[in-house]
Structure 1
């Protein structure tokens, strides 16, 4: 991972570890450059990433400040790399249903841009908050890129695992939303009644070089899932 992206992640982790709130002030650019042993231009590039994501805002002559990205019960749609990165610490519990290796269907070959004989990790899990199941998630990962996956790993933040063990971090993603009746599996795991509606989110996650490493389908329960999108105007 390039230096400025590493620093952006480190600043994000600092905000989370110190439970910083909206309008809390971050160290100035000079202090960050010294802390991370980087040039000012590298720090500025890292801050630009965080500002574009809505994680910070900068006021000329005053400093760098935190934006509130974690609202109780709300999922940040501008931060698509995992519910655990969007909700407050301790608010999310993962119940892993299945981790297995499969061969891709024609749909997966198209969505993952993979070969027909590739091994694919299939991960199914239900995501819970204190109010009950919020999401049912089915994810497909290319085993040629992600060598190992098990239920223990899937019970935590998969994206954090990929970053720490494989240096895999999404470069960009495509997201598609639909409001539909839940399918049979989603109805069961979201503890809903037959015919209930939910939001179906389809994601493709790409490496910076354009390689797709993850294709996911997530069903959100209509009453317990809420969303927000922080925006930055230029």
Structure 2
């Protein structure tokens, strides 16, 4: 297990504890030393996990007083500041993925420049319908370069691809460039989302990179305009 995966796993565990109200009485996280003892991890792991939570807006520092838990004013919102998988955005809800297609094929000219690769490079093209509590939320089309993701099956794609990439493949994911814009649904998109062709939609395009700066995933996600809300943390310093 790599260090990166370990501190991200710790961040996920602490986030679950926050959602469960474990720190509601004090309103803040335990000290670094106490977190180290509680989870049996290094100071490096604790600091990086807390940094992940701070970046996602789950905690904030108060000088001399510790790391405080933010009140949840964004229930049901998707984070624009992170790409951590849909399952992590809706704790307590049932997140399902219906795989509409999964093909291993050359990237092609249209995506080669975006993925910074050759048109002949092989990639997994995945199209999934994402549902929350049985209702369609998003139609997702993603392209994963095979040289970074050597294997991807329909069974894996029905679950959390992000957990597979980080926990099973141990990929050291780094950052994502996001573009958010409004569009109108095509006939196929409308049918998948249970809407009408020409209805408005929210689109997020992600270019996702490893920590070493190599891009491995390009995606386009079309969201149901009545069900999708987005959240981002603004730094006012």
- Shorter-chain TM-score bucket reads 0.7 to 0.9
Alignment correspondent of 1:13: 13
The structure-2 alpha-carbon separation of the partners of 1:91 and 1:186, relative to structure 1 and needing over 3 Å to count, comes to same
1:160-184 deviation digits (Å, cap 9, x = unpaired): 1100111114211111112111123
Whether contact under 8 Å (1:54, 1:69) holds in the other structure is no
1:54 aligns with 2:57: yes
* Range with greater deviation from structure 2 (162-171 or 223-232): 223-232
Residues 101, 172 of structure 1: alpha-carbon distance in 2 compared, 3 angstrom cutoff? same
Q: Deviations over 1:67-89 (max 9, x none)?
A: 35684432122222322221223
Q: Is the 8 A contact 1:4 1:43 kept in 2?
A: no
Q: Which of 96, 110, 127 is 2:130 aligned to?
A: 127
Q: Mean Cα displacement is larger for which, 45-54 or 133-142?
A: 45-54
Q: In the superposition, relative to structure 1, how do residues 149 and 45 fare at CA in structure 2: closer, same or farther (>3 Å)?
A: closer
- Unaligned 5+ residue runs, structure 2? none
- How many residue pairs match? The answer is 233
Taking structure 1 as reference, are residues 50 and 18 closer, same or farther at Cα in structure 2, changes over 3 Å only? closer
CA contact (8 A) 2:128 2:139 kept: yes
Q: Which residue of 1 aligns with 2:111?
A: 108
- Kept in 2, the 8 Å contact 1:5–1:46? The answer is no
Q: In the alignment, is residue 118 of structure 1 matched against residue 98 of structure 2?
A: no
Bigger drift between 222-231 and 209-218 goes to 222-231
Q: TM-score, normalised by structure 2?
A: 0.86
Q: With the length of structure 1 as denominator, give the TM-score of the two structures.
A: 0.87
Runs of 4 or more above 6 Å deviation? none
- Write out per-residue CA displacement over residues 97-142 of structure 1, whole angstroms, 9 at most, x where no aligned residue: 1111111121211111122222110111111123721100000001
Aligned residue in 1 for 2:214: 211
Q: Which runs of 5+ in 1 are unaligned?
A: none
* 1:38 and 2:39 matched: no
Q: Cα RMSD (Å) of the superposition? A: 2.5
Residue of structure 2 aligned with 1:191, choices 185, 190, 194 = 194
